[in-house]
């Protein structure tokens, strides 16, 4: 019988610890409370973290899916694209029932990302508003120009209509006076008014209104518009721009040609006969 030392294994540092002893050591170590020097003896250790309710979920995938594929899952990519950070797999191996894919991002980075997104949105909104303001200003300028052109083109016609209407009213008044006084239609206006006021009293109308008809300025202006001089180029152009919008294409061709002929802007050639 050999004289073998049965305790020889104790002198070998590579000797593995028995499974029961490992469990006892693990159990003892995991329950050991290490109290920092700054904490009181009867303190307890608590944990804190930020939880975002919409940033977690679960999904069924094939067992043993590779880690590289796990961090590329659509749900994980959505979180990393939205929050930033880096996706890691824990435990660091292919997919199993204990697998968790974590997106690690600091609060400071998350806040900075949110600020940058808000700043970008505000900048985009400001640029959009500036562009809208520019378009509105262009349209308003265009509208103002069209309105100004319309007013300019209509001013002559409106002025002609005004004084033609005033002349009509004065003609109605003079015609009635001549009928009442039994005067010929070709009696001068000043004589008509003087004779009427010597013989009659018109009720409901001031005397000075009738006296103004002896030499009416409205009548002279109306005559000037109707019998316009062809040599007044400015007034002729105003007249044409005012009435041209009221004419159809054929009328515009006809009356423009007649106007240019009447103003001496075209050539006449003698052909004999």
pLDDT digits (tens, 9 = 90+) for 125-134: 888 888 888 8
Task: Specify if 85 maps to a domain.
Answer: yes
Q: Is 101 helix (H, G, I), strand (E, B) or coil?
A: strand
Q: Supply the DSSP symbol for 18.
A: P
- Residues 163-192: what's their mean pLDDT? 93
Q: How many domains does the chain have?
A: 2
Whose tokens are 């003896």? That residue is: 41
Dihedral sign computed on CA atoms, order 236, 239, 245, 250: negative
Tell whether the model's pLDDT for residue 92 goes beyond 80. Answer: no
Structural domain contains residue 160: yes
Query: What does the pLDDT read at residue 179?
Result: 94
Q: Who has greater pLDDT, 39 or 6?
A: 39
Whether 153 maps to a domain, the answer reads yes
* Domain assignment of residue 217, given as a range: 111-227
More reliable by pLDDT, 125 or 36: 125
In a domain, 265, yes or no: no
pLDDT of residue 9: 39
Q: Is residue 122 part of a domain?
A: yes
User: Which of 33-42, 109-118, 162-171, 212-221 bottoms out in mean pLDDT, i.e. has the lowest?
Assistant: 33-42
Please say if the pLDDT value at position 146 is more than 50. yes
105 CB-side CA count, 13 A: 23
Separation between Cα atoms, residue 242 and residue 152, nearest integer Å: 7
Q: Are residues 97 and 33 in the same domain?
A: yes
Same domain, 125 and 212: yes
Domain end position, chosen among 71, 90, 105: 105
**Predicted pLDDT of residue 54:** 66
Does some domain include residue 222? yes
Asked whether the predicted pLDDT for residue 145 surpasses 50, the reply is yes
Helical pair 249-262 and 233-244, crossing angle rounded to 10 deg: 170
Which helix (DSSP H) or strand (DSSP E) does residue 143 occupy? helix 107-181
Q: Is the pLDDT of residue 149 over 80?
A: no
Residue 11, pLDDT score: 46
Listed residues 105, 128, 153: the one ending a domain = 105
Tokens of 269: 């050639």
Domain boundary among 84, 105, 126: 105
Q: Does residue 100 share a domain with residue 48?
A: yes
Cis, bond preceding 231 (omega within 30 deg of 0)? no
> Do the Cβ atoms of 118 and 102 come closer than 8 Å?
no
- C-alpha span between 126 and 132 (Å, rounded): 10
pLDDT: is 54 or 165 the higher one?
165
The pair of structure tokens assigned to 3 is 């004289």
Tell me the pLDDT of the chain averaged across its residues: 79
Closest alpha carbon to 153 in 256, 249, 245: 245
Residue 68 has pLDDT above 90, yes or no: no
- Residue 88: is the preceding peptide bond cis (ω within 30°)? no
The pLDDT of residue 254 is 93
Per-residue pLDDT, 236? 87
Q: How confident is the model at residue 200 (pLDDT cuts 50, 70, 90)?
A: very high
**Predicted model pTM:** 0.43
196: nearest Cα among 170, 217, 178: 178
Q: What is the mean pLDDT of residues 128-147?
A: 78
Q: What are phi and psi of 87, to 5 degrees?
A: -90, 130
**From residue 123, how far is each of 117, 135, 208 by CA, in Å?**
10, 18, 70
Question: What pLDDT is stored for residue 79 in this prediction?
Answer: 80
* CA distance linking residue 192 with residue 88, whole number of Å: 111
d(CA 192, CA 196): 6
């Amino acid at each position: 019988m050999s004289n073998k030392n049965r305790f020889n294994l104790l002198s070998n540092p590579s000797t593995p610890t028995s499974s029961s002893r490992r469990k006892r050591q693990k159990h003892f170590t995991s329950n050991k409370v290490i109290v920092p020097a700054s904490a009181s003896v009867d303190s307890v250790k608590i944990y804190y973290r930020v939880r975002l309710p919409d940033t977690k979920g679960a999904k069924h995938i094939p067992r043993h899916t590779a880690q590289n594929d796990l961090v590329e899952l659509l749900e994980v990519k959505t979180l990393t694209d939205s929050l930033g950070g880096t996706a890691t797999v824990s435990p660091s191996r292919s997919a199993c029932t204990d697998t968790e894919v974590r997106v690690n991002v600091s609060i400071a980075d998350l806040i900075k990302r949110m600020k940058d997104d808000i700043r970008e949105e505000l900048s985009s909104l400001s640029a959009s508003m500036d562009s809208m303001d520019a378009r509105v200003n262009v349209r308003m300028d265009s509208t103002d120009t069209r309105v100004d052109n319309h007013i300019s083109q209509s001013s002559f016609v409106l002025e002609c209509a005004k004084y033609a209407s005033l002349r009509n009213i004065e003609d109605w008044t003079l015609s009635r006076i001549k009928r009442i006084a039994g005067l010929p239609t070709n009696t001068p206006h000043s004589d008509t008014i003087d004779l009427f006021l010597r013989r009659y009293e018109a009720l409901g109308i001031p005397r000075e209104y009738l006296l103004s008809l002896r030499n009416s300025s409205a009548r002279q202006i109306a005559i000037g518009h109707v019998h316009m001089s062809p040599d007044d180029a400015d007034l002729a152009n105003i007249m044409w721009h005012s009435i041209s919008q009221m004419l159809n294409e054929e009328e515009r061709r006809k009356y423009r040609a007649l106007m240019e002929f009447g103003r001496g802007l075209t050539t006449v050639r003698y052909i004999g006969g």
